[in-house]
Chain A
């Protein structure tokens, strides 16, 4: 069964260091999302791509976070420098097209900043 792949599953990093997460969406899915889930909260959208273009990054802290999807397939989310408050689960999701509203989520990357 097709699934959204994310790596690494777990990451521990020291504050002020750079960290990157990778996501490979389901084959053929044009829309890709990055969500952040703080412990005890629901996921919140950070950035949405349609193919290689950013559709919505209004909630992305652009001073330290960046995201790219260069070939419109897999995507990387980077944090530089990491802060203690960035500790969270980072979830990637994909959907076949914009407006389909049926998003499939990966297992996430749990980031701990120490």
Chain B
């Protein structure tokens, strides 16, 4: 069965600090996709990244970076030098190959304090 666990319900950090959001997933498939989405107060889900199960290279995009480790079934997300605009709920998600359904975690609410 597919499952995504985001153990951190809520995190608060002071602006300019680095913060890591944890994500652990479960799947029986060998081919799958992992995602991170951002949900600002306005409500829409903003796509941040998609990673397929065969690509374990870490990715960096500006202040954002992602650490994918199949050995621990984790796909963690780090924001470097956080800014107030990063305040949002962040969702980790999983989709198995051949199944379009995206399974979301419960989300981590991130507060960046000025």
Q: Chain A residues in contact with chain B, CB under 8 A?
A: 31, 33, 40-45, 48, 55-56, 89, 91, 93, 95, 98-99, 101-108, 110
The 5 closest A-B pairs by CB, nearest first: A42-B104, A105-B45, A107-B44, A108-B43, A101-B33
Beta-carbon contacts under 8 Å, B28-50 to A: 33, 35, 37, 42-47, 50
In the complex, what residues of A have CB within 8 A of residue B98's CB? 99
Residues of B within 8 A of A (CB): 4, 33, 35, 37, 42-47, 50, 91, 93, 95, 97-98, 100-102, 104-107
- How many angstroms between the C-alpha atoms of A59 and B76 in the bound complex? 29
Contacts of B97 in A (CB 8 A): 99
Nearest-CB residue, chain A, relative to B52:
A101
B37 proximity list for chain A (CB < 8 A): 105
- Taking a contact as CB atoms under 8 Å apart, the answer to whether B50 and A101 are in contact is yes
Query: Given A40-B106, A101-B95, does the pair A108, B50 have CB atoms closer than 8 Å?
Result: no
**Considering the chains assembled together, what is the distance between the CA atoms of A89 and B41 in angstroms?**
12
Q: Is the CB of B107 within 8 A of A42?
A: yes
Q: Which residues of B contact A99 (CB under 8 A)?
A: 97-98, 100
Asked if B101 contacts A56 (CB within 8 A), the reply is yes
Give the distance to chain A from B95, nearest Cβ to Cβ, in Å.
5
Complex Cα–Cα for A48 and B93 (A) = 17
Smallest CB separation, A60 vs chain B (Å): 13
Contact sample, A vs B, 26 pairs, CB 8 Å cutoff: A31-B100, A33-B100, A40-B106, A41-B106, A42-B93, A42-B104, A42-B105, A42-B106, A42-B107, A43-B91, A45-B101, A48-B100, A48-B101, A56-B101, A89-B43, A93-B45, A99-B100, A101-B100, A102-B47, A102-B50, A103-B47, A103-B102, A105-B46, A107-B42, A107-B43, A108-B44
Chain B residues contacting A95 (CB-CB under 8 Å) are 100
Q: Which residues of A contact B44 (CB under 8 A)?
A: 105-108
